[in-house]
Structure 1
Amino acid sequence: MKIKIPPPLQPGDLLCVIAPSGSLQPSEKFAAGLEVWRQRGYRLHLCDGYDAQWGYLAGSDDHRRQQLLSALTHLECKGILCARGGYGGTRLLENWVWPPLEDSLKWLIGFSDITSLLWSLSKQGVSGLHGPVLTTIADEPAWSIDRLFNWLEHHQIAPLRGQGWISDRRVTKASGILLPGNLCVATHLLGTADEPDLRGVILAFEDVGEAPYRLDRMLTQWRAMGKFAQIQGIALGRFSDAQPTKSGPTLSVAAVMRDRLSNLGIPIVSDLPFGHDGENAVLPVGLPVELDAEAGTLSWIP
């Protein structure tokens, strides 16, 4: 399926703000995130109940589904900004049917827990943007914010550079469709109706707060299900706050990644600048890319 890219944004456009996952606590970061978009000339519509709370969720599932639906069907809205991640996006997909999107393509922008919505949207043939949510965007360096707006306004995006893994047994370069996301969320989509077609894709993973043994368990699940046999390459971002929860012998995150991924025979580039707790370069979903382990680059194919 050829993926459709929403039209470029331009200052003056209206963007809808929703909270499809975790509840939004009073936060200066959220206000600062709104200001980033306003300073760029965008008008923002905060959907009704964006600040609702039901325990750790931003309202009931039906409430959050209605927020998403209202943003998708808003006639003037050109893009959807997610307030934060947390947890709850996958709950929305139960009994969810995407409305017709062809005549009103909108950008969906977020990362972390928003992975579930981005991947589900890609199955509808529409590209979203894996990138900062409103509670994190104000902490981004200038180059990262410029990168976001260069893509959204001009469909221009520069390569990212990381650390390529080289071995004699591996193909060092591959191209494929990019599927970026949070490793934990993506793992829990495996075997569900919202698992995308992984044949020929290049995966891009990041995560936060997952101890090495839990990362090991998730990657082992991908191996056991034969999913890594379908893909062309893996791009790795940041795996932050990954300290073990208990004292005792452990492995480093790097050791786990090498052990679980280095013998797959596909290009792998690590240490790319995306993820939590640091710079989070935007990654368009569903577009063709080239992963070059020798050069250590992830590049978009025009």
Structure 2
Amino acid sequence: MLCPSGYFPLQKAETCIQTLQQWGYVVQVGKTIGLQNHYFAGTDEERLHDLQQALNDPHIQAIFCARGGYGLSRIIDQLDFTAFIQHPKWVIGFSDITILHARLQRLGFPSLHAPMANAFNDGGVEGASVQSLKAVLSGQPIHYCLAPHAFNRLGNVTAPLVGGNLTIIAHLIGSADSIDTTNKILVMEDVGEYLYNVDRMLIQLKRAGMLQNLAGLLVGGFTDMKDTTIPFGKTVEEIVREHVAEYNYPVAFHFPVSHGEPNLAVKLGVSYHLSVCENEVVLKEITESM
């Protein structure tokens, strides 16, 4: 467990550490848990060293990121994935960890967009989010059946899942880690953004050619949204619907990935069958036995 981005107090990680141990995992706590350099979990050099050490260690089976926030883009280009490629492992997290997910997608390795340490606090251990992570780590294939939404666009598709935090997806455009969305199911969520900025980021994705050729779109939670003094005049759902109205791929709103609850674990970089019907939405992982 480590913090490659924002500061996270050690005491807030204790419930998560204890729970992972109860699940049977040996938890190695990185030096960046509880380490603080202003906003960050240590200096760039300290966070880089901690993450690089975890990527290199062949005995580590998963890198659990305790918090997102901001900071990975400051060190991503200094990371060496040579040892990771020889001994791949799960990278777990969301939000700013989308940068790591994007790099792994480019390298051809799956990763886990999943709850982080805070989700284990306040009685969350038995909640759907944390339990979904436990299920995935134990080897259960993902199979989620969800309620429909009035804005959904119906359809069926089989394709790999990519994406994560919308701000980070937009942030990566033009970089070596820009996400290839062609013939992919894109999942996106965000927190604390102004409505006009969500509109602007979707226009940026559209102008970069990232919305035109999707196989499907999963619109997750957009929590704690903000509006301007003069209201923008549309909800997040209406903004998204407007920007994808000209396309014909299936779209599912209120997919349960979010900075709030629920935030179910999903594997990025693996293929799923997505079925958006009038009465339900089904996301089912494609396994070798299928």
Q: TM-score, normalised by structure 2?
A: 0.90
Q: Please list every run of at least 4 consecutive aligned residues from structure 1 whose deviation after the TM superposition is greater than 4 angstroms.
A: 164-167
Matched position secondary structure for 1:147: helix
AA at the equivalent of 2:134: F
Aligned twin of 1:258: 241
**Distance apart, 1:265 and its partner CA:** 1.8
AA at the equivalent of 2:158: S
1:178 aligns with 2:161: yes
**Distance apart, 1:171 and its partner CA:** 6.6
Residues 9 and 35 of structure 2 are in contact (CA less than 8 Å); yes or no, is this contact kept in structure 1? no
Return closer, same or farther for 1:254/1:146 CA change in 2, 3 Å cut-off: same
- Residue identity over aligned pairs, in percent, reads 29
Q: TM-score, normalised by structure 1?
A: 0.86
Residues 23 and 57 of structure 1 are in contact (CA less than 8 Å); yes or no, is this contact kept in structure 2? yes
Give, in whole Å, the separation in 2 of the partners of 1:85 and 1:278: 16
1:151 aligns with 2:136: yes
CA displacement, residues 224-264 of structure 1 (integer Å, 9 cap, x when unaligned) = 112112321110111000021x3222222222122122332
Residues 181 and 210 of structure 2 are in contact (CA less than 8 Å); yes or no, is this contact kept in structure 1? yes
Give, in whole Å, the separation in 1 of the partners of 2:251 and 2:151: 8
Residues 165 and 268 of structure 1 are in contact (CA less than 8 Å); yes or no, is this contact kept in structure 2? no
Match of 2:92 among 109, 112, 136: 109
1:19 aligns with 2:36: no
Matched position secondary structure for 2:212: helix
Give, in whole Å, the separation in 1 of the partners of 2:185 and 2:150: 15
- Structure 1 gap ranges (5+): 1-16
Return closer, same or farther for 1:220/1:27 CA change in 2, 3 Å cut-off: farther
AA at the equivalent of 1:142: G
Give, in whole Å, the separation in 1 of the partners of 2:39 and 2:268: 27
Give, in whole Å, the separation in 2 of the partners of 1:204 and 1:56: 28
Match of 2:218 among 227, 230, 235: 235
CA displacement, residues 134-153 of structure 1 (integer Å, 9 cap, x when unaligned) = 12234365333332222212
- Structure 2 gap ranges (5+): none
Give, in whole Å, the separation in 1 of the partners of 2:3 and 2:106: 22
RMSD: 2.0
AA at the equivalent of 1:147: S
Match of 2:71 among 69, 81, 88: 88
AA at the equivalent of 2:90: W
Give, in whole Å, the separation in 2 of the partners of 1:229 and 1:95: 32
